[in-house]
Structure 1
Amino acid sequence: MPQRYSEDEIIARVFAPIAGAAALGLKDDAALLAPEGAQLVVTTDMLVAGVHFFPDDDPSLIAKKALRVNLSDLAAKGAEPIGVLLALALPADWTNVWLEAFAAGFGEDGRAYNAPLIGGDTAATPGPLTISITALGRTQRFVPRTGARPGDAIFVSGPIGDAALGLALRRDAALAARLSPEARDYLIGRYLLPQPRLDLARWLSANASAAMDISDGLAGDLAKLCGASGVSAAIELAAAPLSAAAREAIAIDPALFETAITGGDDYEILIAAGGEAALPEPACRIGRIEAGNAPPRFLDVHKKPVFFKKLSFQHF
């Protein structure tokens, strides 16, 4: 059996070196936070091996993805990070080497995004590796899902569908082999390592009526936002931003367009804002908020409705 750290050693040797000042050296049962003149935003996401990532993925990339999906939620609320709590349930086959690589990736991103580790917990589990992160942020104005108004424009912060297509390529080697190496690497990279749009947090806080990150697919997450706001929407599918790599994949298999629109893991931001709003590129306008409580409409280039088999990824 490989040599392993004790629980106390995991805290002291692996995670304390990457913890922020609010963590008090990870020597207490809680962290101390004091955001002045701001609203405190708290969010949590759980990632499970075999569901959100492949068990044999690079542990540093697993750590970064786990952190970034939580930072994406903060960004969508118009918040900038303060710190994060990490709960880690380790399966029977974990090793010190794996854990140290995980912590290195986590610490690197924590520094890059100013989101230091400030506490958490570890446990053993007979099940798969499970990672739960609670992220805390500050904002001048919280951006809810519930604020979309008829007449608002609908924007997305960047290309959609890349991560869902990257996952499809990992599951289908024959499909992956048909793409150029550049397109294949780009799409798989977008699945492995999302880019939280923290650069938009202040703009959203100042300008957005409603927002949420696109974690389960554009179509389904739009339906959630509309339901929370008590409105409907119309989306022009031709306006949906697709990367060159996504277009290459869809040209090979047109059915992948539905995957791009309904698949998850992009962590771009879905935004409702006044029609005069102007977001920095690559954000683009894709539709409008409408009155009523009908499901969102998805329209093709001829303004005819398009229907999908399912709107988004569902755990249950």
Structure 2
Amino acid sequence: MAGERPHEFALIKRFFAPLASDPGALGLTDDAATLAPSAGCELVLTKDLLAADIHFFSHDPAEAIAAKALRVNLSDLAAKGARPRGYLLGLALPAAWDAEWLERFCAGLAHDQDTYGITLLGGDTIASGGKLLLSVTAIGEVPAGRAVRRTGAAPGDSLYVTGTLGDAALGVRLRYEPDLARSLALSPDDQAHLLDRYLLPQPRTALAAAVLAHASAAMDLSDGLTGDAAHMAAASGVDLAVEVTAVPLSQAARQVLARSPEWLATCLGGGDDYELLLAVPEDRRDAFERDAAAAGVPVTRIGAARPPVGATGVLGYFRDGASFTLAGKGGFRHF
């Protein structure tokens, strides 16, 4: 990234002000924005920080980097049952950047703003002194007191996930190990699917209303099923029993496991799925599945919540009803 660089205020006016359509943003001409929730609602706030060559690759397309930064936050809002309202963007640019790169980056934001019904409210842009860093604070709203937490799962609830799991974790491994696709006998289409799932998460915002109406607990799967389901179990004080044969896998992931079953730990614990994990009471299952189908979001029942055996809830894996020990590491950890 090299070439023409507008100064700070020209940069804001040229690139970011067109993204700030909410009246409270004041066209990004003030030091702060205002945002009032709709009548009877409260705001839900979430924040994710992304760093180059940790959460994305420095040479990834600018549009994709922007989309990922926004979408991982939208996934958190969906898990709360929240409707997106706006976001704040912190952008720390590396030494080598130019107007063309920033134009493409903002085009990625503009596309997703239109897709997911959200607008820029403000933020800050600085020089990073190193690699590209991105911080998005996303704001949504829910009826007051109704945000769905990870703490509400109860014994007897069914455990659901959206989409398929493990694709992104396999995709990032393909990025680091270019020869891996050949050793796993992946077709070009399967390889492209896994790479795309890592690069561009698909936040399940269309399911937010069903989450709000039916789920007793929910969270997004950013750190993998192994880690995040354990968090839900502990927070809710229940044991979560997951049947590994029920976990939804894409054709590409099934191909990997058919050739090398040891990749199951990566699929379940690798992270970056950005699908939703939900606990749904038994008497809400049918309605939840109908609403999910109407929203066009695939959901799969993978297990159930049980009374805790110990002092705090834990995650247990089962295969065909028998206790199953998953070889390998647990969920993704930053530290």
What TM-score do the two structures reach when normalised by structure 2?
0.91
What are the equivalent positions in structure 2 for 1:253-292 lying under 5 Å apart?
253-276=260-283, 277-278=285-286, 279=289, 280-281=292-293, 282-292=298-308
Task: Work out which of the residue numbers 236, 243, 246 in structure 1 matches 2:253.
Answer: 246
Alpha-carbon distance in structure 2 between the residues aligned to 1:309 and 1:254: 12
| 2:26 corresponding residue in structure 1 | 24
| 2:177 corresponding residue in structure 1 | 172
Alpha-carbon distance in structure 1 between the residues aligned to 2:200 and 2:5: 28
Name the stretch that deviates more: 203-212 or 13-22: 13-22
Alpha-carbon distance in structure 2 between the residues aligned to 1:202 and 1:49: 33
Identity percentage over the alignment?
50
RMSD (Å), alpha carbons: 1.3
SS in 2 for 1:102: helix
Alpha-carbon distance in structure 2 between the residues aligned to 1:222 and 1:195: 20
Alpha-carbon distance in structure 2 between the residues aligned to 1:218 and 1:113: 25
What are the equivalent positions in structure 2 for 1:58-77 lying under 5 Å apart?
58-77=61-80
Task: Work out which of the residue numbers 317, 320, 326 in structure 2 matches 1:298.
Answer: 317
SS in 2 for 1:121: strand
Gaps of 5+ in 2: none
Task: Work out which of the residue numbers 215, 221, 224 in structure 2 matches 1:217.
Answer: 224
Alpha-carbon distance in structure 2 between the residues aligned to 1:314 and 1:225: 16
Task: Work out which of the residue numbers 190, 195, 202 in structure 2 matches 1:188.
Answer: 195
1:150 is displaced (CA, Å) by: 1.1
What TM-score do the two structures reach when normalised by structure 1?
0.97
Alpha-carbon distance in structure 1 between the residues aligned to 2:75 and 2:154: 23
Name the stretch that deviates more: 61-70 or 13-22: 13-22
Alpha-carbon distance in structure 2 between the residues aligned to 1:294 and 1:38: 32
Conserved? CA contact 1:78–1:201, under 8 Å: yes
Aligned residues: 316
Give deviations 1:88-145, integer Å, cap 9, x for gaps.
0111111111111101101110111111111100111122111000000011220001
1:246 is displaced (CA, Å) by: 1.0
Gaps of 5+ in 1: none
Alpha-carbon distance in structure 2 between the residues aligned to 1:302 and 1:30: 55
What are the equivalent positions in structure 2 for 1:97-136 lying under 5 Å apart?
97-136=100-139
Moved segments of 4+, more than 2 Å = 278-281
Give deviations 1:290-309, integer Å, cap 9, x for gaps.
12224211011251322332
| 2:334 corresponding residue in structure 1 | 315
Alpha-carbon distance in structure 2 between the residues aligned to 1:60 and 1:109: 10
SS in 2 for 1:216: coil
